[in-house]
Structure 1
Amino acid sequence: MRELGLFGVVMLLGSSVAFASETIIGSGAVITEKREIGKVDVLKVSGTGSLSIERSEDGFGLWIEAEDNVMPHIVSNLENDVLEISIDAKRDIHPVHPIHYLLKVSDVQRIQLQGNATLEASDFSTDKLKIEVGDAAVALVDINADEIDWDIKGAGTVKASGKVKKQKVAASEKAKFNASDIKANSVEVLAHDNALVDVSADDELSVAAAEKASVKYHGKAKLTKSVSDDASITTS
């Protein structure tokens, strides 16, 4: 009975080794690959790497800059106008050279960032956009829009500038949101759980802050506020 038990343990250990993820260290040899895409309404990015997004009326595509032994493990899938970009979860990838994506699209309605992804968008114009930032992801955005909706969680960080008519912000779990350089007419903020929010508003500002959240605002907008649980609202 002892021998059978020992044999079972050895088999179990062997199975664990067999299914251990493969570790891949970047080779240092950087290549660029273009992947064809079509219409994109929703963009989901996870894992590591920085993404630049540009609006284009022609020449749509996804360009990836990565090391030659990392490139095959970068997954991009477009289905039902949803583009997902990620790193193969079955591999333990350690790039030596940072991964960079360049995405050219006609427009996009929703962007989701997870992991350690970074979004960089300069002079991006659209009618309506929702951006969700979670984990340790970062969004650096210069935008012109009629309406933008933000949802920031975890250690997510946003630094935004530009001009919008209407802006909604939901920030929680120690998220950091700085849009003091966005010139907005109407702003609505919901902040809690130690979130830090900094916004500007010209006409209307509605703030609900709780659970030690901190909201700072600029401008002469009419303020409607609700504060509880040691949260704070201040003005410059």
Structure 2
Amino acid sequence: MKRKHFGLLLVCLFGAAALASIRAEGAEKRVKGSGVAETDPRPVSDVRQVSVHGIGTLTVEIGTTESLTIEADDNILPYIQVKQNGAAWEIGPTRDASLEPQTPIHYRLRVTRLDALTLSGATKAELKPLPHVAEFDLSLSGATSAQFAEIDADTLKVNASGASRVEINAGSVKQQTIHLSGASRYRAFALRSETASIHGSGTSNVEITATRELNVDASGVTQVHYKGAPPVVKSDTSGVSSVKAAR
């Protein structure tokens, strides 16, 4: 019971810190949403990596063309910027504004492929099945969450901190490497992998499937539950961390 209360406290603290940071990072202007919803298309091309900060929900789907539309209050839309650096795109509020939306901010992105996703602040992402890539990189911090319908890759790398949440509902990878800290949670029983390496600290919680080899380095109150009956399981734990086969 103490472990659950401690984890809940960390989630609240990280969430409050993430929301505070949205307003503190050089914010000069407070913008309260009008309540009048509007949709704004923004031009994008050659998208391979996406980073979303601040607040809002990102929906990603795969298609033969690329597009981005933003749904928000009409007076908030001018304070949402989309910046390109090669194949990397950054989406979120301008750094000089503190947004208080009345209409939920929603980013709808269509791409032909995606190799990397970064979320920070109080953002979340919902991704439809992704096409095969050699490597997919996922990075989350703050009070963020990412839900994948399906991932297909040779290698999956995940770095999650704060009160981040990751859920993967289907797919397969040859290898996945997971780094979790804070009160992060990684739910991926449905993602089949041959080998998996987990580095967890704080009150992290991991659900994973590996069929050949599982390596775990865990500290704090980290809990790892695994499926796949891997013949090789190596674990180095400290604190009250645990590594257990799931029923």
- Same-fold call, TM cutoff 0.5: yes
The letter for the 1-side match of 2:146 is A
Structure with bigger RCO (C-alpha 8 Å, 6+ apart): 2
Taking the aligned partners of 1:20 and 1:226, their CA distance within structure 2 comes to: 43
Alignment of 1:1-236 (within 5 A): 21-58=28-65, 60-127=66-133, 128-146=135-153, 147-165=155-173, 166-222=175-231, 223-236=233-246
Question: Residues 102-134 of structure 1, C-alpha deviation per residue, up to 9 Å, x if partnerless?
Answer: 111122221110001101002222312100011
Q: What whole-Å deviation, never above 9, does each CA across 1:22-48 have from its counterpart, x for those lacking one?
A: 222111111111111111222111011
Structure number, greater radius of gyration: 1
SS at match of 1:72: helix
Unpaired runs of 5+ in structure 2? 1-25
Contact 2:62 2:129 in 1 (8 A): no
TM-score (norm 1): 0.86
Q: Find the aligned partners of 2:236 and 2:117 in 1 and give their Cα distance.
A: 29
Supply the distance in 2 between the matched residues of 1:22 and 1:199 (Cα, whole angstroms).
Answer: 44
Within 1, Cα distance between the matches of 2:42 and 2:197?
Answer: 38
Deviation for aligned residue 1:138: 0.6
Is residue 135–residue 155 contact of structure 1 (8 Å, CA) maintained in 2? yes
Distance in 1 (CA, whole Å) between partners of 2:226 and 2:94 is: 41
| Aligned mates of 1:187, 1:161 — CA distance in 2 | 17
Residue 16 of structure 1 is matched in structure 2 by none
Q: Give % identity.
A: 24
